[in-house]
Structure 1
Amino acid sequence: MPTRAQVTPLALAVLELLHERPRHPYDMQQVMRTRHTDRLVKLKAGSLYHTVERLERLGLVEVSETERSGRRPERRVYAITPDGRTLYREYVTDMLATVAEEYPEYPLAISLAHAFEGETVRAELQHRRDELQQQITELSEANDRLERMELPRRYWLDIDYLRTMKRAELAWTDRLIGELASQRIDWPAPGTKESQ
Protein backbone atom coordinates (compact mmCIF):
# COMPACT_ATOMS: atom_id res chain seq x y z
CA MET A 1 0.00 0.00 0.00
CA PRO A 2 1.37 3.46 -0.85
CA THR A 3 2.55 5.77 1.89
CA ARG A 4 0.61 8.86 2.86
CA ALA A 5 3.24 11.05 1.20
CA GLN A 6 2.55 9.34 -2.12
CA VAL A 7 -1.14 10.19 -1.94
CA THR A 8 -1.42 13.95 -2.29
CA PRO A 9 -4.63 15.97 -1.83
CA LEU A 10 -4.96 16.06 -5.63
CA ALA A 11 -4.62 12.27 -5.74
CA LEU A 12 -7.43 11.95 -3.19
CA ALA A 13 -9.59 14.26 -5.31
CA VAL A 14 -8.93 12.02 -8.35
CA LEU A 15 -9.79 8.90 -6.36
CA GLU A 16 -13.00 10.57 -5.18
CA LEU A 17 -14.13 11.19 -8.76
CA LEU A 18 -13.19 7.69 -9.86
CA HIS A 19 -15.02 6.32 -6.84
CA GLU A 20 -18.18 7.67 -8.51
CA ARG A 21 -17.46 6.31 -11.99
CA PRO A 22 -14.64 5.87 -14.57
CA ARG A 23 -13.46 9.14 -16.15
CA HIS A 24 -10.75 10.55 -18.36
CA PRO A 25 -8.49 13.28 -16.92
CA TYR A 26 -10.09 16.13 -18.88
CA ASP A 27 -13.50 15.19 -17.44
CA MET A 28 -11.95 15.03 -13.95
CA GLN A 29 -10.58 18.53 -14.37
CA GLN A 30 -13.95 19.91 -15.52
CA VAL A 31 -15.85 18.29 -12.65
CA MET A 32 -13.29 19.57 -10.13
CA ARG A 33 -13.75 23.09 -11.44
CA THR A 34 -17.55 22.80 -11.41
CA ARG A 35 -17.51 21.52 -7.83
CA HIS A 36 -14.85 24.07 -6.85
CA THR A 37 -12.46 21.35 -5.72
CA ASP A 38 -9.75 23.72 -6.94
CA ARG A 39 -10.40 25.73 -3.75
CA LEU A 40 -9.12 22.76 -1.75
CA VAL A 41 -6.34 21.38 -3.92
CA LYS A 42 -3.92 22.93 -6.38
CA LEU A 43 -5.34 22.01 -9.77
CA LYS A 44 -3.27 22.33 -12.92
CA ALA A 45 -3.80 20.20 -16.02
CA GLY A 46 -0.19 18.97 -16.07
CA SER A 47 -0.16 17.99 -12.42
CA LEU A 48 -3.53 16.27 -12.80
CA TYR A 49 -2.26 14.05 -15.62
CA HIS A 50 0.93 13.36 -13.68
CA THR A 51 -1.11 12.43 -10.60
CA VAL A 52 -3.30 10.02 -12.58
CA GLU A 53 -0.19 8.36 -14.06
CA ARG A 54 1.35 8.04 -10.58
CA LEU A 55 -1.86 6.51 -9.21
CA GLU A 56 -1.77 4.03 -12.09
CA ARG A 57 1.85 3.08 -11.28
CA LEU A 58 0.83 2.59 -7.63
CA GLY A 59 -1.99 0.25 -8.68
CA LEU A 60 -4.74 2.51 -7.35
CA VAL A 61 -6.30 3.26 -10.75
CA GLU A 62 -6.25 1.46 -14.07
CA VAL A 63 -7.18 2.16 -17.66
CA SER A 64 -10.69 0.81 -18.18
CA GLU A 65 -11.06 1.83 -21.84
CA THR A 66 -9.65 4.05 -24.55
CA GLU A 67 -11.92 6.50 -26.40
CA ARG A 68 -11.35 8.17 -29.73
CA SER A 69 -13.50 10.91 -31.21
CA GLY A 70 -12.86 11.87 -34.84
CA ARG A 71 -9.30 13.04 -35.42
CA ARG A 72 -8.68 13.77 -31.77
CA PRO A 73 -6.02 11.81 -29.90
CA GLU A 74 -7.11 8.80 -27.89
CA ARG A 75 -8.37 9.43 -24.38
CA ARG A 76 -7.70 6.97 -21.63
CA VAL A 77 -10.61 6.40 -19.27
CA TYR A 78 -9.49 5.43 -15.77
CA ALA A 79 -11.26 3.42 -13.10
CA ILE A 80 -10.41 3.00 -9.44
CA THR A 81 -9.02 -0.40 -8.42
CA PRO A 82 -10.04 -2.34 -5.29
CA ASP A 83 -6.77 -1.18 -3.64
CA GLY A 84 -7.64 2.38 -4.63
CA ARG A 85 -11.09 2.07 -3.02
CA THR A 86 -9.59 0.68 0.17
CA LEU A 87 -6.93 3.38 0.38
CA TYR A 88 -9.46 6.14 -0.41
CA ARG A 89 -11.80 4.92 2.33
CA GLU A 90 -9.02 4.58 4.92
CA TYR A 91 -7.51 7.99 4.20
CA VAL A 92 -10.75 9.94 4.07
CA THR A 93 -12.25 8.36 7.20
CA ASP A 94 -8.98 9.01 9.03
CA MET A 95 -8.95 12.63 7.85
CA LEU A 96 -12.56 13.09 9.01
CA ALA A 97 -11.90 11.65 12.47
CA THR A 98 -8.45 13.05 13.24
CA VAL A 99 -7.57 16.64 14.05
CA ALA A 100 -4.44 17.22 11.97
CA GLU A 101 -1.50 19.29 13.11
CA GLU A 102 -1.57 22.04 10.52
CA TYR A 103 0.59 25.11 10.46
CA PRO A 104 -1.35 27.96 8.83
CA GLU A 105 0.50 31.20 8.19
CA TYR A 106 -1.98 33.63 9.79
CA PRO A 107 -1.43 32.59 13.45
CA LEU A 108 2.33 32.67 12.82
CA ALA A 109 2.09 36.17 11.33
CA ILE A 110 0.03 37.33 14.32
CA SER A 111 2.63 35.94 16.72
CA LEU A 112 5.37 37.83 14.85
CA ALA A 113 3.51 41.11 14.32
CA HIS A 114 4.76 42.70 17.55
CA ALA A 115 7.97 43.57 15.67
CA PHE A 116 6.09 46.23 13.66
CA GLU A 117 4.37 49.51 14.35
CA GLY A 118 0.77 49.09 15.49
CA GLU A 119 -0.43 51.27 12.61
CA THR A 120 1.38 49.04 10.10
CA VAL A 121 -0.18 45.94 11.61
CA ARG A 122 -3.64 47.52 11.55
CA ALA A 123 -3.26 48.58 7.91
CA GLU A 124 -2.15 45.07 6.86
CA LEU A 125 -5.01 43.52 8.80
CA GLN A 126 -7.41 45.83 6.97
CA HIS A 127 -6.04 44.48 3.65
CA ARG A 128 -6.60 40.96 4.92
CA ARG A 129 -10.10 41.92 6.04
CA ASP A 130 -10.97 43.17 2.57
CA GLU A 131 -9.60 40.01 0.96
CA LEU A 132 -11.54 37.80 3.39
CA GLN A 133 -14.74 39.68 2.55
CA GLN A 134 -14.10 39.11 -1.16
CA GLN A 135 -13.49 35.40 -0.59
CA ILE A 136 -16.69 35.09 1.45
CA THR A 137 -18.61 36.76 -1.38
CA GLU A 138 -17.09 34.34 -3.93
CA LEU A 139 -17.87 31.32 -1.73
CA SER A 140 -21.45 32.54 -1.29
CA GLU A 141 -21.81 32.92 -5.05
CA ALA A 142 -20.42 29.41 -5.57
CA ASN A 143 -22.80 28.10 -2.92
CA ASP A 144 -25.77 29.75 -4.66
CA ARG A 145 -24.69 28.48 -8.08
CA LEU A 146 -24.37 24.90 -6.82
CA GLU A 147 -27.78 25.13 -5.15
CA ARG A 148 -29.32 26.28 -8.44
CA MET A 149 -27.67 23.32 -10.20
CA GLU A 150 -29.49 21.09 -7.71
CA LEU A 151 -26.26 19.25 -7.02
CA PRO A 152 -26.74 17.27 -3.80
CA ARG A 153 -25.39 19.24 -0.84
CA ARG A 154 -23.06 16.42 0.21
CA TYR A 155 -20.86 17.34 -2.79
CA TRP A 156 -20.30 20.90 -1.65
CA LEU A 157 -20.27 20.81 2.13
CA ASP A 158 -16.65 21.96 1.84
CA ILE A 159 -17.79 25.32 0.44
CA ASP A 160 -20.09 25.85 3.42
CA TYR A 161 -17.23 24.88 5.75
CA LEU A 162 -14.77 27.26 4.05
CA ARG A 163 -17.29 30.11 4.14
CA THR A 164 -17.97 29.50 7.83
CA MET A 165 -14.24 29.48 8.63
CA LYS A 166 -13.65 32.66 6.59
CA ARG A 167 -16.53 34.38 8.41
CA ALA A 168 -15.05 33.39 11.78
CA GLU A 169 -11.62 34.66 10.71
CA LEU A 170 -13.18 37.90 9.48
CA ALA A 171 -15.01 38.43 12.78
CA TRP A 172 -11.82 37.80 14.77
CA THR A 173 -9.78 40.08 12.47
CA ASP A 174 -12.41 42.83 12.75
CA ARG A 175 -12.25 42.57 16.54
CA LEU A 176 -8.45 42.81 16.49
CA ILE A 177 -8.53 45.83 14.16
CA GLY A 178 -10.99 47.49 16.57
CA GLU A 179 -8.79 46.75 19.57
CA LEU A 180 -5.77 48.22 17.79
CA ALA A 181 -7.70 51.30 16.70
CA SER A 182 -9.03 51.94 20.23
CA GLN A 183 -5.63 51.13 21.75
CA ARG A 184 -7.16 48.45 24.00
CA ILE A 185 -4.08 46.44 23.09
CA ASP A 186 -0.88 48.00 24.38
CA TRP A 187 1.35 48.24 21.29
CA PRO A 188 4.63 50.02 22.00
CA ALA A 189 6.86 51.05 19.13
CA PRO A 190 9.37 48.38 18.06
CA GLY A 191 12.75 48.66 19.74
CA THR A 192 11.44 50.43 22.83
CA LYS A 193 11.91 48.94 26.28
CA GLU A 194 8.15 48.34 26.65
CA SER A 195 8.07 46.21 23.45
CA GLN A 196 10.47 43.62 24.85
Structure 2
Amino acid sequence: MPKQGPVIIAPTHRSRWDALLVSLAVGRGVSGRDLRFMVTATEMTGIQGWFIRHLGGFPIDLKHPEFTILAHSVALLKEGEWLVIFPEGGIFRDNKVHPLKRGVGRIALEVLAQQPDSSIQILPIGLQYDPSCPTWGSQAKIEIGKPLAVSDYEATSMKSSSEALTLTLQQCLQALIDKSLFKIS
Protein backbone atom coordinates (compact mmCIF):
# COMPACT_ATOMS: atom_id res chain seq x y z
CA MET A 1 0.00 0.00 0.00
CA PRO A 2 1.35 3.47 -0.81
CA LYS A 3 2.83 5.26 2.17
CA GLN A 4 2.56 8.83 0.87
CA GLY A 5 1.38 10.99 -1.98
CA PRO A 6 -1.95 11.13 -3.78
CA VAL A 7 -3.73 7.86 -4.45
CA ILE A 8 -6.81 6.94 -6.43
CA ILE A 9 -8.29 3.83 -4.87
CA ALA A 10 -10.10 1.89 -7.61
CA PRO A 11 -12.19 -0.99 -6.22
CA THR A 12 -14.60 -3.24 -8.03
CA HIS A 13 -18.20 -2.45 -7.09
CA ARG A 14 -20.28 -5.33 -5.80
CA SER A 15 -22.52 -3.93 -3.07
CA ARG A 16 -23.68 -0.87 -1.20
CA TRP A 17 -21.37 -2.08 1.58
CA ASP A 18 -18.26 -1.44 -0.54
CA ALA A 19 -17.52 2.05 0.78
CA LEU A 20 -17.45 0.75 4.34
CA LEU A 21 -15.24 -2.22 3.43
CA VAL A 22 -12.79 -0.03 1.52
CA SER A 23 -12.63 2.35 4.50
CA LEU A 24 -11.88 -0.55 6.83
CA ALA A 25 -9.30 -2.07 4.45
CA VAL A 26 -7.27 1.03 3.55
CA GLY A 27 -8.69 3.97 5.48
CA ARG A 28 -7.45 5.83 8.53
CA GLY A 29 -7.17 2.76 10.78
CA VAL A 30 -4.76 1.07 8.35
CA SER A 31 -3.07 3.84 6.38
CA GLY A 32 -3.54 6.81 8.67
CA ARG A 33 -5.28 8.56 5.75
CA ASP A 34 -8.85 9.75 5.40
CA LEU A 35 -10.59 8.71 2.21
CA ARG A 36 -12.72 10.80 -0.11
CA PHE A 37 -15.38 9.06 -2.23
CA MET A 38 -16.77 10.00 -5.61
CA VAL A 39 -20.37 8.76 -5.41
CA THR A 40 -23.33 9.00 -7.77
CA ALA A 41 -25.87 11.61 -6.68
CA THR A 42 -28.59 8.95 -6.40
CA GLU A 43 -26.60 7.19 -3.66
CA MET A 44 -26.47 10.33 -1.52
CA THR A 45 -30.05 10.16 -0.20
CA GLY A 46 -31.52 8.99 3.09
CA ILE A 47 -29.55 7.21 5.77
CA GLN A 48 -27.15 5.82 3.17
CA GLY A 49 -26.37 9.35 1.97
CA TRP A 50 -25.77 10.55 5.51
CA PHE A 51 -23.41 7.64 6.11
CA ILE A 52 -21.53 8.17 2.83
CA ARG A 53 -21.11 11.91 3.49
CA HIS A 54 -19.60 11.08 6.88
CA LEU A 55 -17.23 8.62 5.21
CA GLY A 56 -16.00 11.42 2.92
CA GLY A 57 -18.33 11.06 -0.05
CA PHE A 58 -19.23 13.81 -2.49
CA PRO A 59 -21.90 13.50 -5.21
CA ILE A 60 -21.56 13.33 -8.98
CA ASP A 61 -24.30 13.16 -11.59
CA LEU A 62 -23.34 10.54 -14.17
CA LYS A 63 -25.78 11.97 -16.72
CA HIS A 64 -24.10 15.37 -16.48
CA PRO A 65 -20.50 14.90 -15.32
CA GLU A 66 -19.43 18.46 -14.89
CA PHE A 67 -15.97 19.88 -15.36
CA THR A 68 -16.19 21.00 -11.73
CA ILE A 69 -16.20 17.36 -10.58
CA LEU A 70 -13.02 16.72 -12.56
CA ALA A 71 -11.50 19.92 -11.17
CA HIS A 72 -12.58 19.05 -7.60
CA SER A 73 -11.11 15.54 -7.87
CA VAL A 74 -7.85 16.84 -9.33
CA ALA A 75 -7.61 19.50 -6.59
CA LEU A 76 -8.09 16.88 -3.85
CA LEU A 77 -5.38 14.69 -5.35
CA LYS A 78 -2.97 17.59 -5.84
CA GLU A 79 -3.31 18.19 -2.09
CA GLY A 80 -2.20 14.60 -1.51
CA GLU A 81 -5.63 13.19 -0.68
CA TRP A 82 -6.76 9.60 -1.26
CA LEU A 83 -9.79 9.44 -3.55
CA VAL A 84 -11.99 6.36 -3.99
CA ILE A 85 -13.57 5.98 -7.42
CA PHE A 86 -15.52 2.86 -8.37
CA PRO A 87 -14.38 2.67 -12.00
CA GLU A 88 -17.09 0.28 -13.18
CA GLY A 89 -19.64 3.01 -12.48
CA GLY A 90 -22.26 0.65 -11.05
CA ILE A 91 -22.80 -2.42 -8.89
CA PHE A 92 -22.17 -5.80 -10.55
CA ARG A 93 -22.53 -9.07 -8.66
CA ASP A 94 -20.63 -11.46 -10.93
CA ASN A 95 -17.01 -12.53 -11.34
CA LYS A 96 -16.35 -10.18 -14.24
CA VAL A 97 -14.88 -6.73 -14.14
CA HIS A 98 -17.20 -4.72 -16.33
CA PRO A 99 -15.90 -2.08 -18.75
CA LEU A 100 -14.32 0.71 -16.76
CA LYS A 101 -15.29 4.34 -17.11
CA ARG A 102 -12.49 6.56 -18.40
CA GLY A 103 -12.58 8.97 -15.48
CA VAL A 104 -9.97 7.29 -13.28
CA GLY A 105 -7.28 7.48 -15.96
CA ARG A 106 -8.24 10.98 -17.04
CA ILE A 107 -8.22 12.34 -13.49
CA ALA A 108 -4.90 10.66 -12.64
CA LEU A 109 -3.21 11.90 -15.82
CA GLU A 110 -4.61 15.41 -15.32
CA VAL A 111 -3.03 15.51 -11.84
CA LEU A 112 0.28 14.52 -13.42
CA ALA A 113 -0.11 17.14 -16.18
CA GLN A 114 -0.72 19.89 -13.61
CA GLN A 115 1.83 18.60 -11.10
CA PRO A 116 4.61 16.81 -13.06
CA ASP A 117 6.52 15.85 -9.92
CA SER A 118 3.46 14.10 -8.46
CA SER A 119 3.86 10.52 -7.29
CA ILE A 120 0.18 9.77 -7.94
CA GLN A 121 -0.71 6.09 -7.93
CA ILE A 122 -3.82 4.01 -8.54
CA LEU A 123 -4.51 1.23 -6.04
CA PRO A 124 -6.68 -1.56 -7.49
CA ILE A 125 -8.90 -3.44 -5.04
CA GLY A 126 -11.03 -6.49 -5.79
CA LEU A 127 -14.14 -6.93 -3.65
CA GLN A 128 -16.40 -9.98 -3.51
CA TYR A 129 -19.11 -11.29 -1.20
CA ASP A 130 -20.51 -14.72 -0.41
CA PRO A 131 -23.35 -14.83 -1.20
CA SER A 132 -22.96 -12.38 -4.07
CA CYS A 133 -25.92 -10.31 -2.81
CA PRO A 134 -24.70 -9.73 0.75
CA THR A 135 -26.89 -9.72 3.82
CA TRP A 136 -25.99 -9.47 7.47
CA GLY A 137 -23.41 -12.18 8.22
CA SER A 138 -22.18 -12.58 4.64
CA GLN A 139 -18.49 -13.14 4.06
CA ALA A 140 -16.42 -10.54 2.25
CA LYS A 141 -13.15 -10.94 0.38
CA ILE A 142 -10.85 -7.98 -0.23
CA GLU A 143 -7.80 -8.32 -2.48
CA ILE A 144 -5.49 -5.29 -2.63
CA GLY A 145 -3.35 -5.11 -5.75
CA LYS A 146 0.00 -3.57 -6.50
CA PRO A 147 -0.23 0.23 -6.99
CA LEU A 148 0.01 1.49 -10.56
CA ALA A 149 2.42 4.41 -11.01
CA VAL A 150 0.58 6.89 -13.22
CA SER A 151 3.90 8.36 -14.41
CA ASP A 152 4.47 5.11 -16.35
CA TYR A 153 1.59 6.11 -18.66
CA GLU A 154 2.39 9.73 -19.53
CA ALA A 155 4.57 9.19 -22.62
CA THR A 156 1.84 9.50 -25.26
CA SER A 157 -1.28 11.60 -25.83
CA MET A 158 -3.80 12.04 -23.01
CA LYS A 159 -6.32 9.85 -24.83
CA SER A 160 -3.98 6.94 -25.56
CA SER A 161 -2.36 7.21 -22.11
CA SER A 162 -5.78 7.13 -20.47
CA GLU A 163 -6.84 4.14 -22.57
CA ALA A 164 -3.64 2.23 -21.70
CA LEU A 165 -3.97 3.03 -18.00
CA THR A 166 -7.65 2.02 -17.99
CA LEU A 167 -6.86 -1.27 -19.74
CA THR A 168 -4.09 -2.08 -17.26
CA LEU A 169 -6.39 -1.25 -14.34
CA GLN A 170 -9.13 -3.48 -15.78
CA GLN A 171 -6.67 -6.37 -16.14
CA CYS A 172 -5.40 -5.86 -12.58
CA LEU A 173 -8.92 -5.83 -11.17
CA GLN A 174 -9.89 -8.99 -13.05
CA ALA A 175 -6.74 -10.74 -11.78
CA LEU A 176 -7.71 -9.79 -8.21
CA ILE A 177 -11.23 -11.17 -8.68
CA ASP A 178 -9.87 -14.35 -10.28
CA LYS A 179 -7.58 -14.77 -7.24
CA SER A 180 -10.53 -14.49 -4.86
CA LEU A 181 -11.59 -17.40 -2.69
CA PHE A 182 -15.26 -17.00 -3.60
CA LYS A 183 -16.30 -18.31 -6.96
CA ILE A 184 -19.68 -16.76 -7.55
CA SER A 185 -21.76 -18.25 -10.34
| TM-score category, normalised to shorter length | under 0.3
Higher relative contact order (CA 8 A, sep 6+): 2
Structure with the bigger percentage of helix:
1
Structure with the bigger percentage of strand:
2
- TM-score normalised according to structure 2 size: 0.26
- TM-score normalised according to structure 1 size: 0.25
* Higher Cα Rg, which structure: 1
